[in-house]
Structure formats: C-alpha cells, structure tokens
Amino acid sequence: MTAFAAPIAEQIWDMKYRFKDADGAPVDITVEDTWRRIARDLAKVEDDPALWEETFFDALSDFKYLPAGRIIAGAGTERSVTLFNCFVMGTIPDDMGGIFEMLKEAALTMQQGGGIGYDFSTIRPKGADVKGVAADASGPLSFMDVWDAMCRTIMSAGSRRGAMMATMRCDHPDVEAFIAAKQDAARLRMFNLSVLITDEFMEAVKAGGPWELVFDNKVYKTVQALDLWNKIMRGTFEYAEPGVIFIDRINRANNLSYVEQIAATNPCGEQPLPPYGACLLGSINMARLVDRPFEDGADLDEEKLDDLVRVAVRMMDNVVDASKFPLEAQAREAAAKRRIGLGVTGLADALLMVGSRYGSEEAARLTERWLHAVARAAYLASVELAREKGAFPLFDAEAYLASGTMQAMDEDVRDAIREHGIRNALLTSIAPTGTISLYAGNVSSGIEPVFAYAYTRKVLQKDGSRTEEEVVDYAVQMWRDKFGDIDLPDHFVNAQTLAPLDHVRMQAAAQKWVDSSISKTINCPEDISFDDFKDVYMEAWDTGCKGCTTYRPNAVTGSVLSVSETADSAPSENPETSTDGEVIYMSEPLDRPAELEGQTYKVKWPDSEHALYITINDIVLNGHRRPFEVFINSKNMEHFAWTVALTRMISAVFRRGGDVSFVVEELKAVFDPRGGAWMQGKYIPSILAAIGGVIEKHMIATGFIAGEGMGLKADPQAQVVNLSGNRGPACPSCGQYDLRMVEGCMTCASCGHSKCG
C-alpha cells in the first residue's frame, strides 16, 4: 500500500521533497518519514514536543495540510536553507553604493532559494541629473539588467531556482519603458514585472484625464491616463506582462498599515510585503475535507476544517522560530510581525464534489463561505497563541483593529483580539500550489479551476527511454472510482472552457477573506478581443481584487522553441538517444536534473606543477544529447579564481541552449603572450585553448558537433516548430511539451517544474 494517490505524486515527492544524503541515498524511506521529520522539527519549540509532534503529524498525514515546498524539503534536515518562500528586499536608495549593496543582499537571499521582490520606483529616471559627477542617470531599467544577470549567475551555480518580481509606480517617468521592457525577448527573463496602480490613476483612467509622470517632485512628462492604461493592457495582451497591482487598495487594507508601507510583492503577487518582509506559506487541502462527495447533501466538513486550520496556524507560527534567514534584517522583520500566509488548494475539486460549477454565483458564495471559515479559524487560533505565547511585538490593538481588513472581521473575533492580542499580524494568502498539488494526488491548484481532467505524461526512465502514463485530476479519479467511466456531469468545467469574467468572480469572492493577496491566472482565449480583455482588468478593479494576472496563449508567450530538421517533424518514437545535435533555444536556463551523464578529462600543461581536471556533463533533450555544465578543478591555487569564473560562465551559456559550439572556437582562439605549448603533436596557443580542445573533443564524441572545427550535426537554420500548433512550449527542465500557465507561473505537468520554485 502507498499513501500516494497517483504515480506522479510519488515521483514529485522523490524528486523535490524527499530528504536524501549528499550521495543521493534516501533518508526518508517513506512519505510518512517526511511527515514525521517535519512534525518533529516544528514541535521542538513547544513546551510538550511529543504531544505536538503527533498533532502535527496527523495534520500532515493523508495530505490534509500541505506546508509550502521549502518547508517540506527543508524542515528537520539541518541544512542551511530558509523555510520562507518569499521576500521583499529593502528599499533601493538612489545612489550607486546603496544600489549595489541591495544587489548583494538579493544575491545572498537567492542563494538560499528565496524568491524576491523589489520596487525600482525609487531610482531616478533615465536622463536625470547625477549631481557631483556631471553625468546623466542610466535609469532603473539599466540596474534591473544587472539584477537579471545576477539571478542567472546564482542559478548557474546550481542553487535552487528563486524567481524575482520588479514593480514600478504608474507615475514614474520610466514607466513606459518598464511596460515595454520584456517585449525584447532577450531582456529581463528572470523577472516578473508589475505596475503599481494607484486609486488616483484609476480615477483618471475612468475620467479620461491627464496623468503626470513625476520623480522627486519634478514633473517629467504628462500623458493621458487612458493611453498609459492601454499600453499596460496591450503589453499583457500580447506578451503576458506586465501585471497590475492595486497598491493603494493593498495598503489601505493592510492590518499593519500603522507601522509599514508596502511597495512590492513576492514574485507571484500573493504576498504584498514591506522592506525586508518575508512570508511562509501553506495550504489546507479542501479536496480532503468534503463529506459524502458527489452525493446528495455533499458539503465541506467545516468542523474538520476549523480543527485543521488551528493546527496549521500553530505549525506555521513555529516555522518563524525554526527557520534560518539569509539576512538579519529579514529575521528581525519576521520576528516583529510573525506574518504567515495560510491558504487553500483543491478548492475546484471540492466544488465539483458538492455539485457546484466553478465560476457560477453559487460557487462564488461557497468560496466566500469556506474562506470566511478559514479566516475565522486562523484568527481565533492566533488569538489563542497570543494568550499562550504573547502577541507579535508590534501589536497595537486600536490601530490594528482600525485597518481595512479588520473592520470587516466578525465582531467576536475583533473582541477577542482587543482583549488578548494576536500572535500573527497577517494570516491568510492564496499562493501557487502547482507542485504540492501534484504531490497531494493532483488536486486542483489553489483556487484555480481544474486545468485538465486528464492528460498523458511522458516519464523519463533510467535507461533514457520514456513511458506514458495518464494523470487524472483528483476529483475526476474519485468520480471514476465511484461511478465508472461515464460522462462527467455538466458542472464539471475546466480552465479552458470558463469565461474570463467567471475567473474574476471567483478571485473577488476569495479576496474578501484573504488578508494578503491571491496568486491566480485568469485564462483568456487567444481570440478574445482587446476591449473584452481590458474589461477583465476593469472588472478586477471594480470587484475589489488587489491585482490581476491573465494569460492569453499566442506565439509570443511561449518561452522555449525547438528547432528540428523539418518543420512538420514529430517527436522521435525511438527512445534511444540520438547522436545528431539539436538546437534548443531558451529564454531562461534549464534546471539541473538530479543525475547527469558526463566524462572527466585530464589536461597536463607543460611546466605546470598540477594538472587540470575537466568534467563535462550532458543532458538529453528531445532525444538528443547536448552539453549542460562544465567543472574545472586544479590543485594550483593560482588557477582558482579564473577556473571558477570559467566554469560558471561556460555552464551558464550551456544551460541557455542554442548552438553553443561557438564556445569551443572562442576558447581555441585565445593565445598566451608568454607562449603556448606543443601537446600531442599540435601547437596549443594557451591553456584556455587546451580547455577548448577538450570541450570540442567531448562534443564530437557525444555527437553534438560533426567534427573538429565543424559545426552542429543538425542544421541550425532549420525552421522553428511549435509556433502555431497546440502543443505549446517545451519545459526547460524535462523537455516535454506540458507547460501551462497556472497561478501566474509556467508549470510543467510532467515534472512539476515551475519558474516560481
């Protein structure tokens, strides 16, 4: 017997969450060992650890409560990793020294795996005077390019992926350039972009009025508000960016508006955070809480929901004390406010089980009722924790209760907070749950509709072949088990068939009882008119949403292109690795699989005391073997700095894809002014040229290039495929054509890869 409801769930656990030794040997033998590891670690801070360990274990069992992936993977491992998913970094000062100090902090945070958000509105616009140096400012976008390069470098070093969010105010003089930045396919690929939209701007849009672009009280330009709004809308219509964040609404509703000002969010937008703010995430699995699914009178068991939420809040509060932080400022911020982000997943499956059509008015009412129950339970649990352990340090009862969110809270909850305080300043958030939803048996993600009832997934086997398996939505599988393979009822709808405004209705219903924000994708058909598309965003504004993210499939929004020898060629049926090279173009680097095949070569440069050892590892994509990374090692400490730099740069190039054979020619062309050396009957102009020769030899042996001094075996001028078909872009991790936009993240249905971690 296995606890997993589907093979993909066990594979995701083994690949992403199972604790293993450095050599890959499993420490967690079963998923129960994973639950036990988490429960024991989070119970350490309790007065009675043994009691709470069992309580926490029960909440985790059967995938009822799903901590965020960083907690599942990191808790109890003693590894130097953060259990917090996301951070907003410090305010960027408008001076060179401060800007690069912020860059350093970002690198340290991303090195531990945290996603980060930054507001670049504080940097003076392009062309502004820089006093004291007789120069013009390069503007915030130039510094965003530096951040982008930093992120690529961190990931090329093998660290866990951490996404970045960049925001800019709608009144910044460079906002038009910000809106258009990612229309350049090679620029800012490590960033999500969102414009901070103010109430005043939306009023000007509706009134058809002018809008001033201002920095440091100087008006740089006046535009029509509607024209600027249309530029934002056209950008996201054609390129899926930028998103919009209704920043005044966020600050007005914030429980902590009396001590903080928010200007940025985490990468997926569900966590608006102050400078150095951090949030940990977790989700209640609604699909496991439905009583009598698909029967008359089916309903969510709200008593079980209440009990589970109270345990989840306690576990998450303990994470604040158990986690490490990349920066001391982040630790202080978390301890002062103890904000957590408890959300839900499996909502759409739960609605299917009770007979409600996602997107309908009835489903919106149920969603509001259930999330009200989550909020009540969470706030009351936090009050009990305050009675036991103390309120968060910056708690001020009257100021706290006067915030926008708390004014709408039930009176008995307000009274309890006034009397006893509250342990956690903010408690609820709807975060992306794509990977943990697969781990829980392919339940529907977050508050999203079911993306697909079933699909076929190709699974890479150890021998390099691929097998196919069906992946079925959790609720659909339950329906099949109960009634057999008969037609699904009419209320079974999915993301492809829903009207965009139905998505907005569900997001608005959920937002009423979520004190942070919501990560949700509003899927739009490719043929939606521009005016109808704009109506989606205006409806989100009118119905109280804090932001809006849409996805309209088209040729531009695909992130990976595959070039094959013929435009109509299908994927090879031969499971064996081909010896022909293939060009794979990517706008973001490949993730590193757990295992790679490679070869180590020894280079002994004449007159050098120590040899170089060059390891080249390969990846198989679409049946073709191609170089993925290089490691250069030597005991000669004089070589240390440049070999590390070369290792990182070449590996970063390889992971970007494309025709990387140019690396060989560039290295072979380097000459040493002190003279080269004769090696194996050939004159080699430098040690770098010798390294280039080794890489070339490896590329020839693996079939990536045709021969010495020759190019790719496959024609790099061949036509680009997959621009017009329904197959979509390929996953940069596993190469399969199963990427889909869910909760603002491109997520692979085959391997669980997500840009957002």
CA dist., res. 653 & res. 266, Å (int): 28
Report how far apart, in Å, the C-alpha atoms of 52 and of each of 39, 150, 427 are: 8, 42, 21
Report how far apart, in Å, the C-alpha atoms of 613 and of each of 519, 553, 641, 677 are: 46, 46, 15, 18
Give the three-class secondary structure for 617: strand
Q: What angle do CA 381, 383, 388 make, to 5 degrees?
A: 95
- Residues carrying an active site annotation: 266, 268, 270
Are 91 and 122 within 8 A, CB to CB? yes
Are 702 and 660 within 8 A, CB to CB? no
Q: In sequence order, what are the beta bridge partners of 212?
A: 222
Render 624-684 in DSSP notation, one character per residue. EEEEEEEEEEES-GGGHHHHHHHHHHHHHHHHHBS-TTHHHHHHHT---TT--EEETTEEE
Are 404 and 723 within 8 A, CB to CB? no
Q: For the CA atoms of 468, 470, 471, 474, what is the dihedral angle to 10 degrees?
A: -160
Are 700 and 690 within 8 A, CB to CB? no
Q: What angle do CA 300, 301, 305 make, to 5 degrees?
A: 100
Residue from 654, 656, 655 nearest 699 by CA:
654
Are 520 and 507 within 8 A, CB to CB? yes
Are 737 and 729 within 8 A, CB to CB? yes
Give the three-class secondary structure for 245: strand
CA dist., res. 533 & res. 548, Å (int): 12
CA dist., res. 329 & res. 730, Å (int): 39
Total Cβ atoms within 10 A of residue 703: 18
464 phi, psi to nearest 5 deg: 95, -10
CA dist., res. 138 & res. 152, Å (int): 22
467 phi, psi to nearest 5 deg: -115, 160
DSSP state at residue 14? I
Give the three-class secondary structure for 554: coil
Q: Is the peptide bond before 525 cis (omega within 30 degrees of 0)?
A: no
Total Cβ atoms within 10 A of residue 714: 20
CA dist., res. 486 & res. 340, Å (int): 42
Tokens found for residue 254: 């914030």
Give the chain's radius of gyration (CA, Å).
27
Are 342 and 427 within 8 A, CB to CB? yes
Report how far apart, in Å, the C-alpha atoms of 589 and of each of 109, 154, 158, 434, 617 are: 19, 11, 11, 20, 15
Q: For the CA atoms of 732, 736, 738, 740, what is the dihedral angle to 10 degrees?
A: 10
Q: Which amino acid is at 158?
A: G
Look at the block and give the residue holding tokens 């709004």: 229
